[in-house]
Structure 1
Amino acid sequence: MALVPPLLVVAALLAPPLGSGAGRLHPVVLVPGYGSNQLEAMLTAGYEPSAPACAAADEQGWFQLWPNHTATRDASQVPCFADQMSLVYDTGADDYRDADGVATRVPFFGSARALIGWDQVVRQLEGMGYRDGETLLAAPYDFRYAVAPPGHPSAVGGRYFRDLGRLIQASRLSQGRPAVVVAHSFGCALTYQFLLSRPLPWRRRYVHHVVFLGSALGGFAPGMQVLSAGMDYGLPGVSRPAMLRLARSQQSALWRLPTPLVFGDRPLAVTGGATYTARNMSGFLDAIGFHEGVRPYETRVLPMWEALPAPMVPVTSVIGVGVRTPETYVFGTDGFEGEPEVVYGDGDGDINLVSLAAIEAWAGVEGQAMEVVRLPGVHHAGFFSVDFAVERVVDEIYKAGGSVELDRTS
């Protein structure tokens, strides 16, 4: 997996001289959530089509893997998408990789044109004077991957962290101000771990403020159901085996699981013979038949979320509340293959409130500036579609940028 063009934007950022307004704005770096940027793929000689319809694709060079409009229109392409979108966990290498014969890349790194669903926020920021590729940057990534704790390889995630660091550094060199980093959903988890991976002097020099939108640093209960039932990406006619492979093969899927630190002993999945909590997640993975997920979960995920130390750069957390959110899944006689009864609680529709609010404890940490904004009735994706939520997000980005006077109507 590669980022393309490979940091060409960084070279461009270094070109404009300071002065004539270049340093007027704190550069803004946008880190999207899961599925909120494009992925491209190319099939190589090692690709073995699982269906006849997939064979023709190996002659077309690079193509758009996500969003996959072809599979939406043509059901015969759904098995191809499932094959090409899935990852492989190499137990010998202790790392994840693309499926055999599939190469992937992330286009438009550095540019907001890479993002999906951020249009209203981007337009408002551009109306305030931000310019794409200069003061407004984006750091898309392959959302199927994540990173790993020290001692465990993570080729794709590690490369993304290096590229993100270079982008943030280059933005300061170009604009003369440290960056405001704005992240959503899974992007919050990656941004948080990125900050912890950098020395504190680096964070304070290059990161002016972080704005988290719908952060889920403690995981969320629906993440368990995705691993149990699979995911279809909104495509028609995806078989259950393909849905399970799409969900379980991805490194990032295990990051969705509720963490013991945040969820403790809350019942999350209940069957006739067992109750599963965040403290027994390995047992849950075994129970749903995802035995191969236990090792990477215990060695590559749990160690990263045993604690939530404050990042020691100013943080604004914007969350939606008051939306019915799955909290506990109760399975009947059909077990995990049946449709569960859902017990609901508070949250943003996707993320449980206990996880959204976990970072609010940072407000009590000496030296950690922290602001919390709760938006009643706003769904997890509503930051980009509900007018008053979009306005509030843009306002918080403006505030995070400091005292620079901006004209929002220009």
Structure 2
Amino acid sequence: SPVVFLPGHGGNQLMWKIHLNPDSPDADCLSWNTEDWRRSWLNLWQVLRPGNIDCWSRLLLLEFNENTTRYSNHPGVRVKVPGWGKTHTIERIDPSFAAWIFGDIGAYAFNSWGYSSGLNLFGAPYDFRYGPTSQPNNFNSRLKKLIENAHDQSSGEPVTLLAHSMGGIMAHYFLQSQSQEWKDRYVRSLVTLSTPWRGSVAMVHAVLSGYAWGYDRESLLEPIRRTQRNAQSGFALFPSPGSWGKDEVLVQTAQRNYTAYEYEAMMNDIGFAQGFQMWNDSIYDMSHPGVKVNCYYGDKLPTPQTLVYGEGKFPDSQPEHVSADGDNTVLTRSLRGCEDWKNTALGSKYPVTVEAFDYVTHNQMIKDEKVLKYLEKII
């Protein structure tokens, strides 16, 4: 079966062109102006160079218009997603550095499964700053055409959608917008790895306090939080009310606690009221996608369940975590959210298989040899 791969959050390159005017509020970033397209995500040498993180994070953030509920790039900045249909901008998000994301599963597909990029293995990278409901550049239309082309050039063989993490949410939202007749013709199955079906407490951490992937230097955290807080995708991956109890604490502070039903109060209290609207606009129907589903995830690793802030720490300091089982990033109960579809009308016609891989982390799910060999049997 031909395969279309949708990467996770931050799992593909982004490019930008920058043209700032000397009288703009960002005049201190004029040296970032470019004549040609350059890699914005990810260029680690640029990001980690002393003094660069502030301009980088400011120029990459999205602007949200509360009146139109639409998003736009920062003034003077254009962003595009390179490598549509190919896998090279997913295999390495920073070619000059060891930022090897999809590379292991890609190499395995090329060498062990007999796949070839652009022939029967295709990439569907996206602008991961946006959630699935607000993707720019006609993403769903382009994905539909990519799947149809993959189907046609493989002698009418239906396509497997293989997705990691947020890529599973992107694929699910796309499938919800297609007719059943179209899905029956063009899609063989949806195979997801580490998808946070019910959201992730880690994204609440990122929006509240910033998360720098282990680089917890104060000089990094504030600029990165600004970018994370202004990206709709973070809110799209908040834990979903209904999957968390009404009295279950997500965020504990010295002044008050917050549940998944109190995002409006939480956003108001951190001085980012628009965040509630950004979250609300990201909600969509999470019912059965109308195709066969194989849902795989890592398990039995300590994973944030509650964020705990001491006196004077909320929200500008890093929280402590109360943990439960998960894949180090997403809780098991969220990773197993696809199981809800089993006992539905569509679930009897389009079966849902759920499988755990103990002690495999969120990102190792696209690298672990046991997982890759398992995938080989079903793709």
TM above 0.5, yes or no, is: yes
Q: Answer whether contact 1:362 1:368 (CA < 8 A) is retained.
A: no
Answer 1 or 2: which has greater helix percent: 1
Unaligned stretches of 5+ residues in structure 2: 93-100
Change (3 A) 1:239 1:184: closer
Mapped to 2, the partners of 1:325 and 1:204 lie a distance apart of 37
- 1:43-58 alignment to 2 at 5 Å? 43-45=18-20, 48=24, 50=26, 52=28, 54-58=29-33
3-state SS of 1:238 partner: helix
Alpha-carbon offset, residue 200 of structure 1: 1.2
How many residues are paired up? 361
1:35 and 2:10 equivalent?
yes
1:314 matched to 2:289: no
Counterpart Cα distance in 2 of 1:71 and 1:231: 18
CA contact (8 A) 1:216 1:355 kept: yes
**What does residue 199 of structure 2 align with?**
219
Deviation string 1:188-219 (CA, Å, 9 cap, x unpaired) is 11111111011111111111011010111211
Structure 2 counterparts to residues 150-229 of structure 1, below 5 A = 154=134, 156=136, 159-175=138-154, 176-229=156-209
Matched residue of 2:242: which SS?
helix
C-alpha RMSD of matched pairs (Å): 2.0
Task: Verify the 8 A CA contact 1:42 1:104 in the aligned structure 2.
Answer: yes
- Which residue of the other structure, out of 270, 282, 290, is the alignment partner of 2:264? 282
User: In structure 2, which of residues 351, 371, 374 is the aligned counterpart of residue 369 of structure 1?
Assistant: 351
Matches within 5 A, 1:99-178: 99-115=74-90, 116=92, 117-127=101-111, 128-148=113-133, 154=134, 156=136, 159-175=138-154, 176-178=156-158
TM-score, normalized by length of structure 2?
Answer: 0.89
Letter in 2 for 1:351: V
Corresponding residue for residue 63 of structure 2:
88
Q: Which residue identity lines up with residue 320 of structure 1 in the other structure?
A: G
- Looking at structure 2, the residues matched to 155 and 372 of structure 1 have their Cα atoms a distance apart, in angstroms, of 28
Change (3 A) 1:99 1:350: same
Displacement, 1:295?
A: 2.0
Distance (whole Å) between structure 2 residues aligned to residue 73 and residue 255 of structure 1: 28
Residue of structure 2 in register with 1:349 after alignment: 328
Letter in 2 for 1:147: P
The two structures have a TM-score, normalised by structure 1, of 0.83
Distance 2:222 2:56 in 1: 13
Of 367, 375, 379, the residue aligned with 2:361 is 379
Deviation of 1:50 after TM superposition, in Å, equals 3.4
Quote the offset at 1:323 in angstroms. 0.5
Secondary structure of 2:310's partner?
A: coil
Residue 173 of structure 1 aligns to which amino acid in structure 2? D
1:340 is matched with 319
Q: Provide closer, same or farther for how the CA distance between residues 138 and 155 of structure 1 changes in structure 2, counting only shifts above 3 A.
A: closer
Displacement, 1:233? 6.1
SS at match of 1:100: coil
Secondary structure in structure 2 of the residue aligned to 1:373: strand
- Identity, % of aligned positions: 26
